[in-house]
């Protein structure tokens, strides 16, 4: 992950020091677990922990140097760790275990902690959307389908629907966290042939993980589910950002993402205030979706395991989690700080000359006894005529002898208040979400 999109708190979870620190803690816990079963003296576990080295850049460098010989990162780590602890205790490090016992358990713990950060960012986005939806509940605007004016809505209702979607993403992340918060210490093919299951239970419970049956590796459907949750949350952010981009177009001018003091929108044109952050989020969401493909490919491993997943995961898991955090956090900043031009929203809504009220007119004609198709054809004809002549739809309808509707009925059909009388049903759904 390039630093441009990485937060310090998330990045620190994926450093070499953090990874090897977890490896060492798991090895020490496994030795304590062995001692708890009576396989080794308690004093061995105590001495190993007392003499365990600090995981410093120099330690990492020593492991990297050793790996040039072993061509195996965990084996190189064990050589350095066992030398640092010394005999006889060091010889019992990694007793009865296989590399994936350590690597997969540590990775699952790292991913669990990373998802906790994602859940915090997700909850913040939900809260920001909830607040702005409630605050803008009665700000009318044109609803659009296919990019064309459809019927009136409110900007608060739009944000309320985003809030509900963001909350669903949060639930998906929570489910993914539950399924990735596991560990295994069951040996080479998962049969506990050389290690007591009690060791696995001790290690996992100490780390806050759930012991899980496995082959040599933790099943990769769990990791794929996590990547799907990240991809889903990122897709939601992309949909929100795309709408901001559309609404910020000069011809629409209803919303603007935050534009800071001193910021430049263009190197050539000083007047420009471009939705560059929203555009950035759309681009990064594509990257996260791409990582999901690799995660799904990693599910099918040979027999009890192969290592084809490992190289891909070194890239896709840290990057996907860090990018998802950036997407969620940045989208919340956009929502929180964006300018909403309510006057422009109302002007755009009124600019279609009442065409957005064609359905209430249609329904009024049906209530007056006309067949639906006949009513549809009359309103369609008058709407197209209004569009071509520049007259309002109401004026056109009032001059049409085929329209048997009185002034009061037409007034109700063209009432913005009546069109939006139930919009708070959408707002209330977002209001009910727990922060």
Q: Which CA distances in Å does 200 have to 32, 36, 234?
A: 11, 12, 35
Distance CA 298, CA 431 (A): 40
Distance CA 409, CA 426 (A): 27
Beta-bridged to residue 210, according to DSSP, are 182
**Beta-strand relationship, 210-211 and 182-183:** parallel
Strand positions, DSSP E, 73-206? 140-145, 148-154, 182-183
Distance CA 212, CA 185 (A): 9
Check: CB of residue 167 under 8 Å from CB of residue 236: no
Q: Determine if the peptide bond prior to 283 is cis (ω within 30°).
A: no
Tokens of 17: 């020091």
Q: Which CA distances in Å does 145 have to 38, 67, 231?
A: 70, 58, 25
271 is catalytic: no
With CA atoms as reference, report the closest residue to 330 among 291, 295, 283.
283
146 is catalytic: yes
Question: Which residue in the list 193, 266, 371, 374 is annotated as catalytic?
Answer: 266
Q: Return the ∠ at Cα 142 (arms to 139 and 147), rounded to 5°.
A: 140
Phi and psi torsions of 281, nearest 5°: -65, -40
Distance CA 313, CA 317 (A): 5
Question: Which residue in the list 146, 260, 261, 303 is annotated as catalytic?
Answer: 146
Distance CA 235, CA 408 (A): 46
DSSP string, 223-276: HHHHHHHHHHHHHHHHHHHHHHHHHHSTTT--EE----TT--S-SS-TT----H
Active site positions, annotated: 146, 266
């Amino acid at each position: 992950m390039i630093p441009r999109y990485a937060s310090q708190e998330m990045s620190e979870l994926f450093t070499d020091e953090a990874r090897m620190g977890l490896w060492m803690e798991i090895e020490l816990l496994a030795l304590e677990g062995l001692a708890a079963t009576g396989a080794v003296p308690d004093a061995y576990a105590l001495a190993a922990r007392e003499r365990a080295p600090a995981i410093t850049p120099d330690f990492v460098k020593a492991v990297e140097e050793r790996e040039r010989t072993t061509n195996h990162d965990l084996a190189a780590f064990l050589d350095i760790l066992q030398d640092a602890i010394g005999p006889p205790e060091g010889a019992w490090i990694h007793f009865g275990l296989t590399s994936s016992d350590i690597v997969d358990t540590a990775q699952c713990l790292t991913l669990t902690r990373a998802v906790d950060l994602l859940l915090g960012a997700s909850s913040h986005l939900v809260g920001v959307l909830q607040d702005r939806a409630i605050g803008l509940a009665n700000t009318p605007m044109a609803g659009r389908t296919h990019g064309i004016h459809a019927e009136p809505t409110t900007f608060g209702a739009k944000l309320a629907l985003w809030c509900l979607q963001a909350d669903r993403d949060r639930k998906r992340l929570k489910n993914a966290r539950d399924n990735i918060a596991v560990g295994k210490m069951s040996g080479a093919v998962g049969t506990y042939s050389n290690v007591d299951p009690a060791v696995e239970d001790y290690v996992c419970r100490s780390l806050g993980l759930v012991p899980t049956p496995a082959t040599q590796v933790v099943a990769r459907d769990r990791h794929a589910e996590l990547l799907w949750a990240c991809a889903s949350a990122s897709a939601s952010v992309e949909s929100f950002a795309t709408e901001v981009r559309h609404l910020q177009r000069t011809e629409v001018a209803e919303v603007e993402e935050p534009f800071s003091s001193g910021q430049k929108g263009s190197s050539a044109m000083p007047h420009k205030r471009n939705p560059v952050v929203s555009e950035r989020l759309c681009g990064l969401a594509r990257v996260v979706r791409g990582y999901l493909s690799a995660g799904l490919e990693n599910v099918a491993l040979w027999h009890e395991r192969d290592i084809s997943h490992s190289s891909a995961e070194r890239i896709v898991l840290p990057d996907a989690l860090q990018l998802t955090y950036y997407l969620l956090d940045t989208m919340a900043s956009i929502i929180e700080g964006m300018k909403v031009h309510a006057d422009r929203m109302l002007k755009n809504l009124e600019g279609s000359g009442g065409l957005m009220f064609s359905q209430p007119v249609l329904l009024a004609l049906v209530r007056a006894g006309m067949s639906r198709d006949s009513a549809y054809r009359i309103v369609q004809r008058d709407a197209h005529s209004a569009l071509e002549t520049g007259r309002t739809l109401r004026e056109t309808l009032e001059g049409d002898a085929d329209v048997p509707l009185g002034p009061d009925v037409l007034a109700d059909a063209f009432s913005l208040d009546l069109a939006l009388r139930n919009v708070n049903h959408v707002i209330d759904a977002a209001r009910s979400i727990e922060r």
